[in-house]
Structure formats: C-alpha cells, structure tokens
Chain A
C-alpha cells in the first residue's frame, strides 16, 4: 500500500510495532549479523561493484597492451593472468552476484509481497561465502600467482605438468567455493518464489522478473555441480595424483571440456535471463502497458534455460568430434533460438503498442535489445558448423559474447540501477546525465566490440598478448581501445551521476514511475518490514489494481494479515498461491558470517595442501552448523 495517504492511528500503531519487530542491530555489528534481504542485497551490490572495477581494469590494461603491435606494457605471463581473471571476475564475481545477489535479493521479496526470503540466515551465508571466495581468488593476484590458463582453463595446459604453480589450484578451489554461494542462493530463490508469495499471487500472476529468476535458479542448481565435479577432478589430479584428464592412464583431456561446457552453456543463459527479468520489469513501467504476449514470454524464459542444457558441445566444434555429434548439438542449438526471438519481438511490440517514455532506464533497454539481437545473430551464424569451425577461438567470438554479455546482461543491469534507484535511495536520479551515460556507453561498447568481428575474420586469434604489424589488425585494435576508453568514461559518468543524485537528488516518493509491481506500493526506501500488510494480489500488475490497494489500506487499519505479533511471514501453496500458514522468521544472527569464515579456512588449508587441517576446519564448520540450529523458532 502506498504511504501517500496518511495511515489511521490504529494503522500507525501497527506499523510502529512492526518496526520494532524487524529492526536490525545498529552499526557494523548490525551489518555483520544482518539477515534482512535488503541489507544483504546492498552488501552484494557494493562488493560486486568493486569486483566489476577490478574486471574493468583488467580489460583496460589488456586493451592498452593491444593498442599497437609488439607492445610491451605487460609481460605474456601477466597478460595471461589478466584475461583469465577478467573472465572469471566478470562472470562469477560480477554478473551472477549482481543480478542474483543484489537485484534478486533486494527485489524478489518486494515483488512478491513478502517480508523477507524464505531462509534469511542462509541468505546472509551466501553473501559471506561469496565475499570469502572473491577474497580468496584475488589473494592469488596479490601473491603473483593468479590463474593464468583462461577462464575455461583447458587441460592439459592447466595440469600440474604444464602449470606447476598454485595458480590453477586457486582457480579450482575458488570456483568450488563460489559455487556454494550461488547454489545456496538458487535454492533460496526457488523456495521463496514458490512459497512466500502474497496470497492470491498464483503462478501466472507472478511478475516476469520472478519467472526469470526462477529459471536462472533452476539453471544454477543443475549447472554448477558438473563444474564443481570438474574442479574437484582437476584439484585431485594436481594435488593427489589421480588421472582424470591424463590420456596415458585412461583419462581424457576432453572430459574437462565436456563437464565444463555442460556447466558453461547453461551459465551463459543464467547470466542473461535475470537481465531479461529486469528488462521485462522496466518495459511495462515506461510504456504503461502490460507486456505483449506475457504467457509466451514467461514460458520462453523457462524454456531458454531448459533447452540450454542440451547444447554444450557447440563450444567444442573444432575438437574433432564425429560429424554426427556435431550435427546433433547444432540442431539443439537451433532450438534455443526460438524462445529468444519470441522475447525480442514481445519486447519490441510492447514498445510499439505502449506509450514509450524514453527515460534513461528504457534507453538502456532499447540499447540492450539492439545489442542482444546483434550478438544473437552472430550466435545463429555459429549454428553453421563449418563457419563456427572457422571463427571459433578468434576475436569474432569475443565480439559475439561481449555483445551478448555486455549488451544483454550489463545494459539491463545499468538500466535497472537507474530504474530502482528511487526505490532504494528515496531520491530521484538526474535524467540528463543519465541519458548522456547511456549514449557514451552505447557508442563506446559498439566501437569496442564491433571491429572485433572484422579482426577475427582477418585471422586474429584469442588470448594473444601481442600481434604482428603486417596482418592489417592494428587499426581495428586502435578503434577498439578507443571504444574501451569511451566505455570507461560512460561508466564513470553513470556512477558519478548515481552518487551525485544520492547526495542531491529530489525526493522520489514511493512510486515515481507508476510502476506495475508491488515494490512500488511501499515507501522509498522500504521499511525494514517491507510491507505493513501482506498485500492482496489479483493480477500480474498489482500496483495498477487500485481496488486491491484500497483493500490493503482497510486491512492495515483492521489488523488483517499485518502479522505484527512477531517476526512473521506467510507461506502459500506453490501453484495457486493460497495461504497455507504463518511462519516465524529468524532475526539477525552471527552464525552465517562465522560459518563462512570456517569454510574459508577449509579452502585455504586445501590450497596449502594441509589436508588434515582442512578436515579439522570442516569439522569446525559442522560445529558452527550445530550452533546455528541450536535455537529453534517458536511455534507459530
């Protein structure tokens, strides 16, 4: 319910009671022990921004090295660490945690009318584990032994024989470490989205944002284990002497690639599907129209992840697999195009049939559509196996995936930052600099990535720290580097604008955009308890349902579904959204950060090959879990 109309005295008393119930501890301790999804979302936000900066610096150093042939800004060894870290950071430590950890955590409860996630302490645990894994990985850089065999780290190059230092051990362990955080988050989202929705929000009335995050969560749950298995095998081969990847003892180098890409391909859909969710939240708000073909789009979001599990070997077309296998995977890849094209046209028609207000968030979504389509078209080209075999492992493919990742994941993230900025901060951002930041980014990224298509066709392979001057590649590289610097300026303008807006922006009120979903019914920023009354939902665009919001005001005054007796939340049936019971939620707790600390020690000990001590640390983890579960919730 919007706080625009002042609450009745009875309502105000209830809200005060709620505030007391849901208050966090003050100060640093409050942040360390928080279980509030909004605080956790903010923790993720700041942390991923720092890591985005690191990944960006890695990119700018590489681009500067490549501005001229035979350049010597960095040594080959350093360059190898740079491109490896850049890939790892952007994928595992920026996009996934920013979309799921920051946007997902902050917004999902607000969009479904809940007060928090289903497992708040596990939510905090995910963050602290994520932070631990990021520190773990970057410690390797500080020690001069960052991973250096590429983000997909093929064996045998990554085996002990060819890369004897600890670099790859950092890689394997950081990957497993990080995947624990993402797995917990995925489980969390699935349960929350299925069970914590407001009563009346049946499955088909969920915001598309939730469909997207549900799909991504299922994707993470099933895609991460093969990667973990791969990393476990690699760690064992390197440290214990097993032979998973050693053909001379019955192993296979290609096993690494299969397991990696069984994870890797769904992963790229996991990267962009949450961004689709952000886009489908922004479009209705800025076209003031329900999304065209909503049911088709919802199904498409789920399908794209599902089909994405069957296409992995299209990353391996040049490895010499049989033509039959290649054709099968190309066929599966063909199928995954259709859910994407459905969504593209649904978005475009929503733009056309609504009244589009091209404010900054929608500009970013327009830019996203352009870049996603461009990248998607080159992706379709790879269905032609001979063509793929010609350009794979060249700058053509770098162009393809950056159009998709930067265009289809990062642009919506930036758009989302602008869109929800008023909700999170209570202030309006400044529109003019916002638009300027968009255009700088749009021009910059196209200058940066488009020439890569050409230079890849001209023979420039990936992951080379330098190139000869007589192959005609130089001028394209210069343009790309300039584009990179323009992109950098765009990013600085964007964040500068957000900071300045935070300091000097006008008050936003609860609903500056007349947005469609429930987060716009509560104040900006939302109170600790998110909603004073659990909202009534009868459609997929609840903030536009005036009668329901009136009903909520009456419920608040009358004390219906206010749940101010304790730290309480509703549980509903997964499909129809009928109220099943009221549950007591855990409050702030030190156990998550303690458990994350113990887990970090396990990984450090494994890295140092102190296996016995690692085992002891594992037991410490179990003891921490014991402490976690020592206090039981009161019966509701």
Chain B
C-alpha cells in the first residue's frame, strides 16, 4: 500500500516533467547539455539486475535455505551499492555542470533523480538490516521481511526504470 503511495508520488513528479516539456520551446533548455544515453542505461541495467538475486533470496527463504538467502541478498546488495555509488558520483558531477536552481528543467531533473536515488539508498539500508537479521537464522517474521524487501526492490526498480527513461527522453528530438 505504501509502495502504491510512493509510486503515485513519482507519478506526480513524472507528470510535472512532461508538463514542463510540452510547454517548453526547447528541451533541454538552452545551455543545458542533453543527457547521455549509454552510461545511464548501463547503470540502470546494473540496478535492475539486482532484482534477480532478491527474487532468488525470497525463494530460498521460503524454502528454508537461510544460507542461500543470505548470499543472494549480499549479491543484490553488491549490485545495488555499486549502482548507488556510481549514480551519486554522476549526480554531483552533473550538479557542477548545471545547478538545480537554474530553471524548471533542472528543478524537476534533480528532484526526480534525487528521489529515485533516495529510495535506492533506503533499500540498501533495508538490505543491511535484513542481512543482520538473517545472520541469526530464519523465522517466519524474517521470511516475511525478505519477501517484503524483495517486493520493495522490484517496485523501486520499476520506478527507477520509468524515471531513467523519462529523463532520457530529453535526448530524443
């Protein structure tokens, strides 16, 4: 339910992006470089790949194989942390190029990207917490936690996909 709420929040952000876009004579506006396409897509692939180990972790936990579950969460964490580190670096590099206060494009660009990254950060924290719990063995509660966090990641990944593609539309036409 809460994920639905967050998804709607992103929906509002994305709606805003396109509202600005269809009213703007030029997109991105003068002076702002078009977004790179290849690097963000590779990064996105890395993040989305994390859904696979999370799904496998969820399955392993359901089958009672806590050792396997732990390893899969660790693998997902590695992918997600890797994505996060690179994405943050990218984010601050772009801030040097054009600041958030420049205009409406930069405003919505950084809010969209920042919100997505914040949700990834939160997910990473969830992963760490989960690992801490799974180290001490498996219980029904921890099984549910694993399933819930896996679901969270699938949702975040979908959101990240939509956000990335949205921001990349500025590179078309």
A positions within 8 Å CB-CB of B: 183-184, 186-187, 190-191, 221-222, 224-226, 228-230, 232-233, 236-237, 240-244, 246, 249-252, 255, 258-259, 262, 622, 626, 629, 632-633, 635-636
| B159 smallest CB distance to A (angstroms) | 12
Option from A237, A250, A622 in Cβ contact (under 8 Å) with B105 = A250
Known: A183-B5, A632-B141. A229 touches B104 (CB 8 A): no
Q: State whether the Cβ of B111 lies closer than 8 Å to any Cβ in chain A.
A: yes
Contact B104 A249 (CB under 8 A): yes
Contact A243 B16 (CB under 8 A): no
Option from A224, A237, A635 in Cβ contact (under 8 Å) with B140 = A635
Contact A222 B8 (CB under 8 A): yes
Known: A186-B1, A191-B1, A622-B125. A259 touches B101 (CB 8 A): no
Interface size classification for chain B:
20 to 34
User: A250 — nearest CB in chain B belongs to which residue?
Assistant: B104
Contact A225 B104 (CB under 8 A): no
Contact B23 A252 (CB under 8 A): yes
Contact A259 B12 (CB under 8 A): yes
Contact A242 B107 (CB under 8 A): yes
The 9 listed contacts between A and B (C-beta, < 8 Å) are A186-B5, A187-B1, A191-B1, A228-B12, A229-B16, A243-B103, A243-B107, A259-B15, A632-B139
Contact B5 A250 (CB under 8 A): no
Chain A residues positioned under 8 Å from B139 (CB to CB): 632, 635
Task: Give Cα A240 to B110, complex, Å.
Answer: 12
Q: State whether the Cβ of B11 lies closer than 8 Å to any Cβ in chain A.
A: yes
User: A263 — nearest CB in chain B belongs to which residue?
Assistant: B12
Chain A residues positioned under 8 Å from B142 (CB to CB): 632
Chain A residues positioned under 8 Å from B104 (CB to CB): 242-244, 246, 249-252
Q: State whether the Cβ of B98 lies closer than 8 Å to any Cβ in chain A.
A: no
Option from A190, A259, A626 in Cβ contact (under 8 Å) with B129 = A626
Q: State whether the Cβ of B6 lies closer than 8 Å to any Cβ in chain A.
A: yes
Chain A residues positioned under 8 Å from B106 (CB to CB): 242-243
Known: A229-B16, A632-B139, A633-B141. A249 touches B103 (CB 8 A): yes
Chain B residues positioned under 8 Å from A250 (CB to CB): 20, 23-24, 29, 103-105
Q: State whether the Cβ of B46 lies closer than 8 Å to any Cβ in chain A.
A: no
B13-24 interface mask toward A, CB cutoff 8 Å, 1 = contact, 0 = none?
101100110011
| A389 smallest CB distance to B (angstroms) | 23
Contacts beyond the supplied A221-B5, A228-B12: 10 A-B pairs with Cβ under 8 Å: A187-B2, A191-B1, A221-B8, A225-B9, A229-B13, A240-B100, A242-B100, A243-B107, A249-B104, A250-B29
Task: Give Cα A191 to B2, complex, Å.
Answer: 11
User: B25 — nearest CB in chain A belongs to which residue?
Assistant: A250
| A611 smallest CB distance to B (angstroms) | 13
Contact B101 A229 (CB under 8 A): no
Chain B residues positioned under 8 Å from A629 (CB to CB): 129
| B50 smallest CB distance to A (angstroms) | 21
Contact A222 B4 (CB under 8 A): yes
Known: A183-B5, A258-B19, A622-B125. A236 touches B111 (CB 8 A): yes
Chain B residues positioned under 8 Å from A241 (CB to CB): 100-101
Task: Give Cα A240 to B105, complex, Å.
Answer: 15
User: A220 — nearest CB in chain B belongs to which residue?
Assistant: B5
User: A262 — nearest CB in chain B belongs to which residue?
Assistant: B12
Chain B residues positioned under 8 Å from A244 (CB to CB): 16, 104, 107-108
Option from B1, B6, B19, B125 in Cβ contact (under 8 Å) with A225 = B6
| B113 smallest CB distance to A (angstroms) | 13
User: A636 — nearest CB in chain B belongs to which residue?
Assistant: B140
Task: Give Cα A228 to B2, complex, Å.
Answer: 14
| A455 smallest CB distance to B (angstroms) | 37
User: B105 — nearest CB in chain A belongs to which residue?
Assistant: A250
Q: State whether the Cβ of B89 lies closer than 8 Å to any Cβ in chain A.
A: no
Contact B107 A255 (CB under 8 A): no
Task: Give Cα A233 to B107, complex, Å.
Answer: 9
| A55 smallest CB distance to B (angstroms) | 27
Known: A186-B1, A249-B102, A249-B104. A255 touches B8 (CB 8 A): no
Contact A243 B101 (CB under 8 A): yes
Chain A residues positioned under 8 Å from B140 (CB to CB): 635-636
| B154 smallest CB distance to A (angstroms) | 18
Contact A259 B100 (CB under 8 A): no
Task: Give Cα A334 to B54, complex, Å.
Answer: 47
Task: Give Cα A236 to B13, complex, Å.
Answer: 14
B102-141: which residues lie under 8 A (CB-CB) from chain A?
Answer: 102-108, 111, 125, 129, 139-141
Known: A183-B2, A632-B139. A229 touches B9 (CB 8 A): yes
| B23 smallest CB distance to A (angstroms) | 6
Task: Give Cα A461 to B16, complex, Å.
Answer: 31
Contact B8 A226 (CB under 8 A): yes
User: Considering residues A240, A249, A259, which has the most beta carbons from chain B within 10 angstroms of its beta carbon?
Assistant: A249
Chain A residues positioned under 8 Å from B5 (CB to CB): 183, 186-187, 221-222, 224-225
Task: Give Cα A190 to B142, complex, Å.
Answer: 23
Chain B residues positioned under 8 Å from A232 (CB to CB): 111
Contact B141 A251 (CB under 8 A): no
Chain A residues positioned under 8 Å from B103 (CB to CB): 243, 249-251
Chain B residues positioned under 8 Å from A224 (CB to CB): 5
User: A190 — nearest CB in chain B belongs to which residue?
Assistant: B1
Q: Which 3 A-B pairs have the closest CB atoms?
A: A250-B104, A187-B1, A229-B12
| B34 smallest CB distance to A (angstroms) | 16
Chain A residues positioned under 8 Å from B2 (CB to CB): 183-184, 187
Task: Give Cα A258 to B142, complex, Å.
Answer: 42
Option from B8, B12, B107 in Cβ contact (under 8 Å) with A236 = B107
User: A183 — nearest CB in chain B belongs to which residue?
Assistant: B5
Contact A225 B8 (CB under 8 A): yes
Contact A225 B12 (CB under 8 A): yes
User: B16 — nearest CB in chain A belongs to which residue?
Assistant: A255
Task: Give Cα A341 to B103, complex, Å.
Answer: 47
| A457 smallest CB distance to B (angstroms) | 35
Chain B residues positioned under 8 Å from A635 (CB to CB): 139-141
| B168 smallest CB distance to A (angstroms) | 19
User: Considering residues A183, A229, A237, A632, which has the most beta carbons from chain B within 10 angstroms of its beta carbon?
Assistant: A229
Contact A242 B101 (CB under 8 A): yes
